[in-house]
Amino acid sequence: MSLHFDSAAGTFTIHTANTTYQMKVDEYGYLLHLYYGARTEGCMDYLVTYADRSGMCASPHDVADRTYSLDVLPQEYAFQGAGDMRNPLLVVRDAEGTFGCDLRYVRHEIRDGKYGLPGFPAVYSESADDDAQSLSVVLADKRTGLEVELLYGVLPKLDIVTRAAIIRNTGSKKFVLKRAQTACLDMVHGDFDVITFDGRHAMERRPSRRAVTHGSFSVGSRRGMSSNQYNPVMILTDRDTTETAGRAWSMSFVYSGGFLAEVEKDQYEQVRMQMGLSDEQFSYPLEPGEQFVVPEVIMTYSGAGLEKISHNLHRCIRKHVCRGPWRDRPRPILLNSWEAAYFDFTGDSLCRLADKAAELGLDMLVMDDGWFGNRCDDLRALGDWTVNEEKLGGSLKQLVDYVNAEGLKFGIWVEPEMVSEDSDLYRAHPDWALAIPGKDPALGRDQLVLDMSRADVRENIFEQLCAVLDQANIEYLKWDYNRSIVDVYSRFATDQGKVLYDYIAGLYELLERLVERYPNLLIEGCSAGGGRFDVGMLYYTPQIWTSDNTDAHDRMTIQYGTSFGYPCSAVGAHVSACPNEINGREVPLSARGLVAMAGGGFGYELDLVELPERAWEIITHQIETYREIEHLVREGLYYRLSSPKKDPVCAWEFAAEDGSEAIVCAVVIEVEGYGVADYVVPRGLTPGAMYREVNSDKVYPADALMDMGVPLPISSAPYMSRMYRFERIG
Q: Annotated catalytic sites, by residue?
A: 480, 548
Identity of residue 172: S
Are 273 and 184 contacting, i.e. CB atoms less than 8 angstroms apart? yes
Using DSSP's 3-state secondary structure scheme, residue 162 falls into strand
d(CA 595, CA 572): 11
State the Cα torsion 337-343-346-351 to the nearest 10°.
0
d(CA 279, CA 269): 26
d(CA 479, CA 414): 5
Residue 722, strand partner residues: 666
Check whether the bond before 437 is cis (ω within 30° of 0): no
Q: Which of 257, 304, 311 is nearest to 279 (CA)?
A: 257
d(CA 532, CA 205): 11
Residue 373 DSSP class? T
DSSP 489-526: --SS-SSGGGHHHHHHHHHHHHHHHHHHH-TT-EEEE-
DSSP 639-693: EE-S-TTTSSEEEEEEE-TTSSEEEEEEEE----TTPPPPEE---S--TT-EEEE
Query: What are residue 167's phi and psi, to 5 degrees?
Result: -100, 130
d(CA 380, CA 427): 12
d(CA 513, CA 304): 41
Q: What does R_g of the chain's alpha carbons equal in angstroms?
A: 27
Residue 266 DSSP class? -
- Side-chain-facing half-sphere of 507: CA atoms under 13 Å: 29
d(CA 71, CA 157): 35
- How much of the chain is helix, strand and coil, in % rounded to 5? 20, 35, 45
d(CA 718, CA 713): 12
DSSP 378-432: TTS-TT---B-HHHHTS-HHHHHHHHHHTT-EEEEEE-TTEE-SSSHHHHH-GGG
